[in-house]
Amino acid sequence: MSVTTAFTANEGRTYSSAPAPGFRLGSSGLVALSWLVPVLLLITWEVLARYGWIEPHLLPAPSKVALTAYKLTVSGTLLHDLAVSLLRAAIGFAIGGGIGFALGTLVGFSRIAEAVIDRSVQMVRAIPFLAVLPLVIVWLGVGEGQKIFLVALGVAFPIYVNTTLGIRQVDPKLIELGRVQGLSTWELITRIILPGALPSILTGVRFSLATAWLALVVAETIGAQAGLGFLALDAREFLRTDVIVLTVIIYALIGVVADSLARLLERRLLQWHPNYGAVR
């Protein structure tokens, strides 16, 4: 106590956990503050639209968009189109992810496979994958094939690159340990190399979710008979900006949900990892 007093007297400071003088916010206060601007913007938007400062057919009021969302949900249109879009994304993701993972594993393990495959893949990867869209339309038309192909293309590369990288980065000392313990090749792969590569692979998954989504948005704006993109396209014909804004918001929401799911997956699968797992 006397030490503290001496300190305080000499240095003019106290080393206690009490808040320093001045304005202090707790963490919940900061969260609330971070929401303040978006909410204010939303209110401003609503007010401007209500009082006709913004043309309603250019940008409808948020309340109008919400109402549209409600109506379309009740009629079942929205859910149907959402399901169609999600299915496309899922199929494209499975195909592209599968191919990326298979090739990445092959190249990660074998120098020969690397020599055969890697250069070509890297060359194709240099092309922004959306640039091949016109070509894809010529090949596959504007049906489901074109959309799934584009998603798969966008997904395959991040998964490929990160799988290869992950496998290469596995600690050689651990692989050596596997040999000392007499592991079979299969055990070596499943118990040491793939788990060691998993953090990198999951990073690839998160990247590829973003590209998958982008690919879908672009692919769906061209000749779709159903899906979120079709909903937006159809709305454009009738100048239904409320529907267009709604689809944009839904695209955003699904992007956020997909990212959270990927993070959740990381936390589950990497609970052993110091950077992810909670301390027990």
Partner 1 sequence: MTVQPRASAFQNNAVVVSHLRRAYGTRTVIDHLNLVIGQGEFVVLLGESGCGKTTLLRALAGLDPVQGGTIEVPGRPAVVFQEHRLLPWETLWRNVTLGLHVPDARARAADALGEVGLGDRLDDWPRNLSGGQAQRVALARALVQAPKLLLLDEPFAALDALTRLRMHGLVKDLVARHQPGVLLVTHDVDEALRLGNRILVMRHGVIAAEHRLRPDHDSAGVRAELLRELGVTSSH
Residue 86 vs 188, nearer CB to partner 1? 188
Spatial separation of the C-alpha atoms in residues 218 and 251, rounded to whole Å: 12
Q: With beta carbons less than 8 A apart as the criterion, state whether 161 and 104 touch.
A: yes
Pick the binder of partner 1 from 41, 127, 177, 261 (CB under 8 A): 177
DSSP state of 279: P
d(CA 230, CA 21) in angstroms, rounded, equals 57
CA pair distance 15, 240, nearest whole angstrom: 61
Residue 272 binds to partner 1 (criterion: CB under 8 A):
yes
- For residue 189, what are the contacts with CB-CB under 8 A and spacing of at least 6? 109
Q: Which is nearer to partner 1, 188 or 249 (CB)?
A: 188
The interface region with partner 1, picked from 4-12, 32-40, 83-91, 187-195 by CB under 8 A, is 187-195
Residues 6 or more apart in contact with residue 233 via CB below 8 angstroms: 220, 221, 224
Instruction: Please identify which residue in 98, 196, 223, 255 interacts with partner 1, judged by CB under 8 A.
Output: 196
Among 103, 192, 212, 254, the residue binding partner 1 under the rule CB under 8 A is 192
Question: Taking CB under 8 A as the rule, does residue 276 contact partner 1?
Answer: no
Yes or no: say if 270 and 276 are a contact pair by the CB < 8 Å rule.
yes
278 binds partner 1 (CB under 8 A): no
Residue 22 or 182: the one with the smaller Cβ distance to partner 1 is 182
Site for partner 1 in 198-227 (CB under 8 A): 198
CB of 181 to partner 1, least distance (A): 3
Distance between first and last Cα of the chain: 36
Q: Of the ranges 141-149, 181-189, 210-218, 224-232, which one interacts with partner 1 (CB under 8 A)?
A: 181-189
Stretch that binds partner 1, among 45-53, 64-72, 148-156, 190-198 (CB under 8 A): 190-198
Give yes or no for residue 190 binding partner 1 (CB under 8 A).
no
Amino acid in position 222 = I
**Toward partner 1, which CB reaches closer, 98 or 196?**
196
Long-range residue pairs from 237-240, CB within 8 A, at least 24 positions apart, any chain = 239/57, 240/68
CB 148 within 8 A of CB 157: no
Q: How far is CA 256 from CA 72, 92, 188, 209, in A?
A: 22, 19, 36, 10
The pattern of x and - marking residues 157 through 176 that bind partner 1 according to CB under 8 A reads: ----------------xx-x
| 70 burial via Cβ count (<10 Å: 0-12, 13-18, 19+) | exposed
The answer to the question of residue 119 lying near partner 1 (CB under 8 A) is no
Q: How many CB atoms lie within 10 A of CB 108?
A: 22
CB of 155 to partner 1, least distance (A): 25
Minimum gap (Å) between residue 182 Cβ and partner 1: 5
State the residues that interact with partner 1 by CB under 8 A.
Answer: 173-174, 176-183, 187, 191-192, 195-196, 198, 270-274, 277, 279-280
